[in-house]
Amino acid sequence: MKLNRLISILSCLLIFFTFTSCDDFLDAENISNSNEEQQFDSTADTFTALIGVYNQVIGDDGYGQRLNLYYPQSADDFKTSGDFNCNDRRGLSTYGACTSNPDLNKPFLKLYSGIERANLVIKNIPLSPVFQSGSAADKQLMNRYLGEAYTLRAQFYYDLIKNWGDVPMQLVPSSDLETVYLPKTDRDVIYEQMIADLATASALVPWRSEASVGNTRITKAAVKGLRARIALARAGYSLRRDPRIMARGSNPQVYYKIAYDECKDIMTKGDHALNSNFEAVFRALHDNTEDAAHEVIFAVGAFGGNAATDSKIGYYNGMRHDDASNWKSSGGINAIATYFYEFGKFDVRRDLTVASMQINATNQAILSTGVLCTDGKFRKSWTNVTGTAQNLAIDWPMIRYSDILLMFAEADNEINGAPSADAVNAVKAVRERAYAGNLGQAGTIPTDKTGFFNYIVHERLLEFGGEGMRKYDLIRWNLLATKIAETRQKLSQFREGTGPYANVPTVLYYKESPYDKTKTAQAALNAIDIYVPAGLSRADVYYTPALGSAPTGYKSVSWRVAVTLQYISDPAKGYAQYFEANRKELFPIYDDIILSNYNLKQDYGY
Amino acid sequence: MSGLKLGIQSAFIKTTIASVFLLPAFGLAQELIKVSGKVTSDQSKPLQGVEVKVRDSKFSTVTNQAGVYELNVPKNATLVIRSKGFEEQEIEVNGRTVINVGMAKFDSGKEKNIDEVVLVGYTTVSKKDVTNSISSVKGEQLADMPVNSAAEAIQGRMAGVQVTFGEGSPGADPEIKVRGGTSITQDNAPLYIVDGIQMDNALSLISPKEIESIEVLKDASSTSIYGARGANGVVLITTKSGRKNTKTTVNYNGYTGVRTIAKTLDVMSPYDFVQYQYELYNRDGYQDLIDKFISLYGPYNPVPATLTTPAQPGIEQYRTIQRRDWQEEVFGKEAFNFTHNLNISGGTATSAFTLSLNHVEEDGIMINSGYKRNMANFKYDFDISKKLKVGLTARYSQTFINGAGTATAGSQGTNRLRNVIRYRPFENGISAGTGSDEFATDDFAATNLVNPVLLSNNEIKYNNTDNLFLNGVITYNIIKDLTFKSVIGYVQNDQEIQQFSGPKTYLSRINADMSVAQLTNNQTRRITNTNTLNYKKKIGDHKMDFLLGQEIVQTDGDKLDMTIRYLPVSLSAAQAFANIQLAMPPAGMIQDAPATTTFVGRLASFFARANYIYNNKYIATVSVRRDGSNSFGPTNRWANFPSASLAWKIGEENFLKDSRMVNDLKLRLGYGQSGNDRIAAFIYDTFYNPSSQFGYTGGTGIITGSAPGNIQANPNIKWEATVSKNVGIDFSLFSNKLYGSVDGYITDTKDLLLLAKIPQTSGYEFQYQNSGKTQNKGLELTLGAIIVGNENFTWKTDFNVAANKNTIKSLGSLTQSGTDYYLVPSGWVNNLFDFKVQINQPVGMFYGYVTEGRYEISDFDFNTSNNTYKLKAGVASSGSVALGNRAPQPGDLKLRDLNNDGIIDTKDQTDLGNAQPKFYGGFNQTFKYKNFDMSLFFNFSVGNKVYNANKLEFTTKYQYTDQNMLAEMADRWKWFDGDLKVTDPTALAALNANTTMWTPTGGNYFLHSYSIEDGSFLRLNNVTIGYSITKDALKALGISNLRLYATANNVFTITGYSGYDPEVSTRKSTLTPAVDYAAFPRSRFFLTGVDITF
């Protein structure tokens, strides 16, 4: 009887917590998380996993700031503002980064976390019941997501290789690996894999005209464009581990052919074209729209006003707006003083690419000095965002149609030993857009192999200034050391006012003028009241020595005299001061990353 | 020892005795006799109102004014004589009719140490029979110490229990470590059990006034019964209950006091500050900087009115300029405190109750800081029958902490102390520093200053915590010796954190200069149910005690996080919290999506314990527990935790039994295994978390993405096991005038749950692994002595000291890989890897460079043609580490080239010591002279190092100008004699003949030994003087006891440490302890109070 009472008490308590068994009790599900199986059991959930992969392209440590604005400096177009410090972005720009430079850490990690996320998608989509036995439409969607994941993974590896050379490669999720202590894999092996993956992906991803998405999502032309880009990198030079020299990849012809074919496909398809209005291409990036010609094939989308999904484009870099103006942007990237003069006088790209003006505290347009011109393709005042906001939702142009044309021409020239008519026409299309209205000034395009190649080298400098491509282009052509030396020589001439810079004015005279943000870059510059000596056209001011003193009512701004000896070779302020050929073409890997993986070595003399 | 019996007895023993021999016979077979007598105090004064009762019966009476009682009792009954403030006595009648009783004043610490019972987990045992290592503090020991938190009250009082407050802010959470802590990357907090129910952070939530006792189980032989959660020690808190058969008493205890900052840091005077700025601006000869100095501070030399209008007074004006002491303005508040405790308790023959109310209002010394707590606790015990008893506790507390503090762990952007120290030390009078409270784009992650008063008024944080605790206990005496007990508890914790960043704050500046509100709501609900069967039996010399139990702990939690940006700047913090819908994103901007997460924790357990005592000399205890936890994958859920312990009461052996010197001597041996399941849930598989932070835009707006976090799944993750071995001796000597215990232990933790760093090329940074190993070895000594103990004067002292040596034995996969260490950033500044985690070393090792001093002129070759200094060949340059890659100049900081390779680089870093003390402890002196009492409580720590990151930051230039430094940097290397730069070696040497410090370094922050200081200290933690007014004088007022007291807390600290306080730890991670970075300065507290009992 007593035992019965005990049992009744105990069972009352157990009823209070009704469980059929202990294991059921312990199997409580956490509804805030889902495992791989649950995550890929529908197209909608799979899509959020894919979005998680896209997420690793943007943000401060991706193409929101570091990968696109810090890492590509300096070439012969732009450099980072400010004095050298081996532990910050100036260390990167002057080729003097220490292994403890924190800017080298997070982007590297972010790329690998992107690879892991892509690997999870690539592994799980084929295992998904929706993929295996869903409707045809669902299956097509899953295929498309799979293709996008392949493409993003290739992009991540490409970004790793171009900055750090050989890196560890893994193609399955980390949990499926025996060990995650991976050594470096030769870049050519990774490139091979990516080129193969992208071929797979281009069969899975639809063309822009077949897909109802904006240019922030990957479409077939983006897959092919990236494949062409990687093929050219594979065919070109890069800094090798052993021996530590700049060397060309094996069998370049195979890869020129791949680049040629992919570009040709895009050109044939006709979903994308050159926008006759060069500026409109960049304006569209500022208001999250697409340019009418779909010239930007893939833009890294930025939105949300935070460091994870937005960019600091236009705030950190771009035309400078004084802190006290309606907009505030710091102008963190400055044009090399001579870059302005690489453009022809009639090239519409010049005043857009090199912002030789800025906005002062009273919202007036003023001129910038010769060393503080900025990358004007990005201008905070072109957005709707005012005030101190740092995240402006400006997208990054990852690949443009003009790049397809120029890659096509370059590949054609390499394959045929001289440019075909198609190649010449492709270059011509790019050139003539820049000289719209002044086609007579566009000049002629050489048709010999070397001349045509050199022409492309220069044309890419003009076309893509400030788009984070120049340094990597120069490396694959093995011209980085040459161009840095050449630029330093030009800067000396510029400072002295000799050679081609003999007539460059020491100072410019101007009046503060109202700024109208709706005006084109060129019109906005022209709206500044610059003193034009009698008998001179305004356009010639930059090519005519200045008066000895300021005309009444005009302020002066240093132009040629802004370039000092310090600017060229000072330990703190000098241009590319710490560059060493066959070493500094690549960044060191951040200390902590090396430390965490005993199989990973610095190499490259770091 | 005869008349003195234990003050606190378990209900169980009472019940047992009652059922064994009193109940069947009582009132029937027994003849009643009349017993009378007089009850007097130890000073022979008659005592009125003393309760005299027959044990386990309703027969009772109280003494009259003359101290006389009369009562009819059974012939062989036992009388229980009780009076508050006196030791309880039990006297066997044995047929006597006159029994006079002398009562001894209740004296904490004396005698009763010998006979008290202690809670050892699901049951109590007599302290004499304890086989494990347990520290215990009784409520009355805490009574002298008027503090608002229970953690403060036990600090330094128990050997091997380390209580530290990382900083001095109101309501700061204590860190409690038992025997050094075993975990490297996980929380080392012990498990808290309040009246049988698990309750996190219990010491912060319970008022010291309602604590009956605190027991800390230290070795695995005792914690093993708590299985999965026992590895870091178990803190058992018993709250006060009412007593049956007592008249209702009302006790009020209240105090009021004031806090003031205990120490400030010296900063440079305005004149020194401007002189320093002059040097910075003029040193490199850049004209723009030279001009900037003049525009900010005026010309160095006076300019007469003939040359400029108005005349410029020159730098001399800064000698007399009105100085602003920002520390005084921000932390200088005289912070008042009011604390009220009201306790009503009483009981009838079958029930007892207690009601406690507590109200605390505490100001912080910093602007906009403070702490409030309201609490009510009702406890009710009722005997339904002799066999069935129930108890109920309901507790509700509300805590409100105000204040954003000085820093937020994890973000140097919110270091508010920086502004207090580095902000220019004078008024904005001249145009100095225009724009210094603006956000500097180029270095947004680095230093930027805002007027500290302005900032303190713009960064608001409210932390509201509501805690509900319900506990029901049923005890059923099934048959003789067999008791069933069931405890059901419900604990609900609701936390609401509201943060507001107004204009000019960092968050505001990156959000269009508009205000930002962050709202976090957190709720955890925990249901605990424990059912035990207990069988106690004594047969001849054999005494047995068996316990069988089952327990489930079910924890559910949810959290809501919202960040509301773009609030109009016109709103105050309170208005913003009440009107978040007023937020209006500017064109092109959107709000972050709110986020919710849930938490699910399940623990199911079975346990058993057996205790056997032979001949009152030999004791053996074994226990085993089996736990299942949902933190682990289905295959690794269950684990067993066994333990065994032995004790030999040597004092009971014949050869010592009659010793006059040795009263008691006991040897204890313990061995046990306990576990730890404290890891993030759901890490045994790859789990996706949706978040807008994982999102991507489809043009405009954000599509929420899903991704795994930065911790790689580990399907094999399982329990961590701690095996500990303990040897201890308890002794009591010289008529119990000297007593104490010594314990030695070795605790080995294997399969350590380690958040291991893995190659980041995996896409993750960490993985939980089971492969780490740590060991703690230590020695603990507790001593108590009654130095003087006579009628008028007593002097007692309690002393405890502990030494613990922690060693990392393995670091999981890292060990297998051939490396034996990895570096960890403490995070006070981004990307500084300043701690080393290394095998065969203790956790928390500082890692950096050795400070050599500075470069002197003799280290350089002087080039007379261009007046430049070039480092001599063979002298290593610290340029790349310390100087931002600048070539060293005379006066620059010199670091030691440890490997003598001629370059100072990362290879020259070394271990700079660690935060673990060689030994630590406390001692308490209690004096009583007539009606006066006094106690002095000291605590100390010896041999621990402190990483003074404040000093590091506040003596460097970093990348900014116009920032003040600590006063010692006024004694830096000088390049300027007045306004003239000196380059000539002889003149420069003469100029610096009396300077000692180096030129403030530029470049990034790095750790060098200069900032590692000895943190040893001796603190007079508490002084209390009290006066009790004799009862006679108060009788008329109905007051039975009145005590007035005055207390000073944190009276003085003897230490060589140069920062605010050596007891500091601002980075809340086991791996990076003792970093003094932007800690809230500690205060000194003076108070007076009253304690009245009606």
pLDDT at B656: 78
pLDDT digits (tens, 9 = 90+) for B307-338: 777 778 888 888 888 888 889 888 888 899 99
The pLDDT of residue B440 is above 60: no
Residue range A450-460: mean pLDDT, rounded: 97
pLDDT digits (tens, 9 = 90+) for A244-285: 999 999 999 999 999 999 999 999 999 999 999 999 999 999
CA–CA dist A500, B600 (Å, integer)? 73
pLDDT digits (tens, 9 = 90+) for B983-1008: 899 999 999 999 999 999 877 789 99
Residue range B405-426: mean pLDDT, rounded: 74
> CB of A204 within 8 A of CB of A146?
yes
pLDDT at A122: 97
The pLDDT of residue A139 is above 90: yes
Confidence of residue B111 (pLDDT cuts 50, 70, 90): very low
Of A50, A88, A180, the CB nearest to B758: A180
What single DSSP character describes residue A68?
I
The pLDDT of residue B434 is above 50: no
Confidence of residue B891 (pLDDT cuts 50, 70, 90): very high
Residue range A314-343: mean pLDDT, rounded: 92
CB–CB of A393 and B552 under 8 A? Answer: no
pLDDT at A524: 95
By the 10 Å C-beta count (0-12 exposed, 13-18 middle, 19+ buried), B516 is classed as buried
Q: What mean pLDDT is reported for chain B?
A: 84
pLDDT digits (tens, 9 = 90+) for A533-588: 888 999 999 999 988 888 999 999 999 999 999 899 888 889 999 999 999 999 99
pLDDT digits (tens, 9 = 90+) for B648-699: 988 888 887 777 788 888 999 999 988 888 777 778 888 898 888 999 998 8
Of A48, A289, A598, the CB nearest to B818: A598
Can you point out the beta strands (E) in B384-514?
388-402, 459-479, 482-501
HSE-up (13 A, CA, CB side) for residue B929? 4
Residue range A485-513: mean pLDDT, rounded: 95
pLDDT at B591: 86
Question: Range with the lowest mean pLDDT among A60-74, B25-39, B57-71?
Answer: B25-39
CB–CB of A303 and B697 under 8 A? Answer: yes
Interface test with B, best of A17, A121, A321, A592 (most B CBs within 10 A): A592
CA–CA dist B726, B370 (Å, integer)? 43
Confidence of residue B816 (pLDDT cuts 50, 70, 90): low
Higher pLDDT among residues B1060 and B438, named by residue: B1060
Q: Please give the interface size between A and B, counted as residue pairs whose CB atoms are below 8 Å apart.
A: 301
> CB of A237 within 8 A of CB of A477?
yes
The CA-based dihedral angle spanning residues A318, A322, A328, A329, taken in that order and rounded to the nearest 10 degrees: 20
Amino acid (1-letter code) at residue B304: P
pLDDT at B1008: 94
The pLDDT of residue B428 is above 70: no
Higher pLDDT among residues B608 and A323, named by residue: B608
Q: What is the pTM of this model?
A: 0.83
* A394 vs B: CB within 8 A: no
Question: Range with the lowest mean pLDDT among A128-137, A531-540, B117-126, B1066-1075?
Answer: B117-126
Can you point out the beta strands (E) in B515-615?
515-539, 542-567, 595-614
Residue range B242-264: mean pLDDT, rounded: 89
pLDDT digits (tens, 9 = 90+) for A90-138: 999 999 998 888 899 999 999 999 999 999 999 999 999 999 999 999 9
pLDDT at A5: 52
CA–CA dist A56, A232 (Å, integer)? 24
State the angle between helix axes of A43-54 and A106-124 in degrees (0 to 180), rounded to the nearest 10.
160
Amino acid (1-letter code) at residue A412: D
Amino acid (1-letter code) at residue A599: N
* B1003 vs A: CB within 8 A: yes
Question: Range with the lowest mean pLDDT among A421-435, B176-190, B340-354?
Answer: B176-190
Confidence of residue B30 (pLDDT cuts 50, 70, 90): low
Of A22, A23, A51, the CB nearest to B695: A51
Q: What mean pLDDT is reported for chain A?
A: 92
> CB of B337 within 8 A of CB of B365?
no
CB–CB of A13 and B885 under 8 A? Answer: no
> CB of B650 within 8 A of CB of B665?
yes
pLDDT digits (tens, 9 = 90+) for B377-403: 999 999 998 899 999 999 999 999 998
pLDDT at A346: 93
Percentage of chain A lying above the pLDDT 70 cut:
96
* B85 vs A: CB within 8 A: no
Confidence of residue B439 (pLDDT cuts 50, 70, 90): very low
The pLDDT of residue B5 is above 60: no
The pLDDT of residue B937 is above 70: yes
Q: Which of chain B's residues have a Cβ under 8 Å away from the Cβ of A34? A: 687-688, 706
> CB of A173 within 8 A of CB of A130?
no
Q: Which of chain A's residues have a Cβ under 8 Å away from the Cβ of B704? A: 48, 51
> CB of B150 within 8 A of CB of B206?
yes
Interface of B with A in 375-414 (CB under 8 A): none
Confidence of residue B435 (pLDDT cuts 50, 70, 90): very low
pLDDT digits (tens, 9 = 90+) for B152-181: 888 888 888 888 887 778 877 788 888 887
pLDDT at B444: 35
Of B476, B686, B692, the CB nearest to A35: B686
Higher pLDDT among residues B434 and A567, named by residue: A567
ipTM: 0.92
Confidence of residue B442 (pLDDT cuts 50, 70, 90): very low
Confidence of residue A191 (pLDDT cuts 50, 70, 90): very high
pLDDT at A22: 66
- Provide φ and ψ at B825, rounded to 5°: -85, 135
Residue range B538-552: mean pLDDT, rounded: 90
The pLDDT of residue B577 is above 80: yes
Structure tokens at B29: 């077979």
pLDDT at B11: 36
Of B587, B712, B713, the CB nearest to A385: B587
pLDDT at B408: 61
Distance from the Cα of B140 to chain A's closest Cα (Å) equals 36
* A181 vs B: CB within 8 A: yes
Tell me how crowded residue A213 is: count the other CB atoms within 10 A of its CB: 13
pLDDT at A19: 46
Amino acid (1-letter code) at residue B880: S
CB–CB of B696 and A301 under 8 A? Answer: yes
Interface of A with B in 27-86 (CB under 8 A): 27-36, 38-39, 45, 47-55, 57-58, 81-82, 84-86
Q: Which of chain A's residues have a Cβ under 8 Å away from the Cβ of B585? A: 305
The pLDDT of residue B71 is above 90: no
* A361 vs B: CB within 8 A: no
- Strand, coil or helix: what is A320? coil
Helices (H) and strands (E) in chain A, counts: 21, 15
CA–CA dist A585, A593 (Å, integer)? 20
pLDDT digits (tens, 9 = 90+) for A362-415: 899 999 999 999 999 999 999 988 877 888 999 999 999 999 999 999 999 999
> CB of A376 within 8 A of CB of B499?
no
